[in-house]
Amino acid sequence: GGTRADGGNTTAANRLLGALNWLAEQKPGIYDGLDVPMQSALPPEVEATRWAD
């Protein structure tokens, strides 16, 4: 189930979680969403098996 809004909210939340490690390594300041690289918060081996079924 779910709606399109659910998918959008999940995408936004995952993008924020993925940015935490990157942001912790940056100098203090204001960053735009385009500054943040797209990356998963999960380790690659977990990400690779996530949709295996």
The pLDDT tens digits for 3-12 are 878 778 877 8
Instruction: Give pLDDT, residue 41.
Output: 62
- The pLDDT of residue 27 is above 80: yes
Instruction: Give pLDDT, residue 30.
Output: 94
pLDDT average, residue stretch 35-41: 75
In DSSP notation, 1-53 reads: ---HHHHHHHHHHHHHHHHHHHHHTSPSS---TTTSPP--SS-HHHHHHTT--
Q: Which residues contact 10 (CB under 8 A, 6 or more apart)?
A: none
Domain boundaries, the chain: 4-49
pTM: 0.51
Question: How high is the mean pLDDT of the chain?
Answer: 78
